[in-house]
């Protein structure tokens, strides 16, 4: 079966694969620093564990088909789940996910990534998946995982003291999603001014 969203699906799968490989490259640089500060209350292991859910949820959500589309696109997913990020359970799940990676997290993650990429490769993008925000087409959900990998990949790079350089495709997906969020929230002006050297964004400014 051929997807009616074939160009978008091709882009989504390519960006997701590149973002995953870029993030795994950063994971390979952790070495013995799993207990170092990662992000907020997370150590590096918990940060990596949380980010690994960008692989886990694709597999889990495909196993629970949705009856209808309830969330139309990646920005809509972020908007719908924004309040959930304050739930203490998010931080706890990150810690648990990190612990479950075992003694060789990189090896475990590469095995999982290979399995998920093969699964995605067998899909058309038309599949309806049940996300925490509601039913979505896989072609619309996958860019949310690319966004997570890029954002938390940058977080991991900062924790390790290395320069983050995500590939152009995944970076474009992340920036496009964030730009759409800024427009929908009527917060585009400060972003435009910051990106053109006309002012900085406050320390608490976020579109997520």
Please determine, for residue 88, whether its predicted confidence score (pLDDT) is greater than 90.
no
**Rounded distance between C-alpha atoms, residue 76 and residue 69, angstroms:** 12
Report the range of poorest mean pLDDT among 3-7, 21-25, 53-57: 3-7
pLDDT for residue 12: 98
Band of pLDDT at residue 1, cut at 50, 70 and 90: very low
Please determine, for residue 2, whether its predicted confidence score (pLDDT) is greater than 60.
no
Query: 43 with 155: CB under 8 angstroms?
Result: no
Strand ranges for the chain from DSSP E: 37-39, 42-43, 128-131, 134-137
pLDDT for residue 4: 58
DSSP 199: -
**Rounded distance between C-alpha atoms, residue 158 and residue 160, angstroms:** 5
**Rounded distance between C-alpha atoms, residue 153 and residue 148, angstroms:** 8
- Residue-averaged pLDDT of the chain: 94
Q: Is the pTM of the predicted complex or chain greater than 0.85?
A: yes
Q: Domains in the chain and their CATH numbers? A: 6-195 (1.20.120.450)
150 burial (CB, 10 Å; 0-12 / 13-18 / 19+) is: buried
**Mean pLDDT on 181-193:** 96
Rounded to the nearest 10 degrees, what angle do helices 88-99 and 44-51 cross at? 100
For residue 135, what are the β-bridge partners? 130
Nearest C-alpha neighbor of 32 from the set 41, 44, 16 = 44
pLDDT for residue 97: 93
Band of pLDDT at residue 108, cut at 50, 70 and 90: very high
Reported as a single tens digit per residue, the pLDDT across 115-168 is: 999 999 999 999 999 999 999 999 999 999 999 999 999 999 999 999 999 999
pLDDT for residue 202: 87
Please determine, for residue 185, whether its predicted confidence score (pLDDT) is greater than 50.
yes
Please determine, for residue 3, whether its predicted confidence score (pLDDT) is greater than 70.
no
């Amino acid at each position: 079966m051929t997807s009616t969203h074939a160009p978008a699906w091709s882009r989504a799968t390519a960006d997701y694969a590149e973002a995953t490989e870029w993030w795994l490259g950063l994971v390979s640089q952790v070495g013995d620093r799993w207990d170092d500060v990662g992000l907020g209350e997370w150590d590096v292991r918990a940060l990596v564990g949380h980010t690994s859910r960008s692989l886990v949820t694709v597999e889990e959500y495909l196993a629970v088909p949705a009856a209808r589309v309830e969330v139309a696109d990646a920005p809509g997913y972020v908007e719908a789940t924004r309040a959930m990020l304050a739930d203490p359970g998010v931080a706890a799940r990150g810690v648990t996910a990190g612990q479950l990676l075992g003694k060789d997290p990189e090896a475990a993650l590469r095995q999982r990534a290979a399995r998920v990429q093969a699964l995605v490769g067998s899909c058309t993008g038309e599949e309806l998946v049940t996300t925490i925000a509601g039913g979505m087409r896989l072609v619309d959900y996958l860019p949310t995982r690319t966004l997570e990998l890029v954002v938390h990949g940058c977080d991991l790079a900062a924790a390790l003291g290395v320069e983050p350089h995500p590939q152009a495709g995944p970076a474009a997906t992340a920036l496009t999603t964030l730009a759409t969020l800024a427009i929908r929230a009527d917060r585009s002006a400060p972003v435009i001014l910051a990106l053109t050297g006309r002012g900085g964004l406050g320390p608490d400014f976020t579109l997520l």
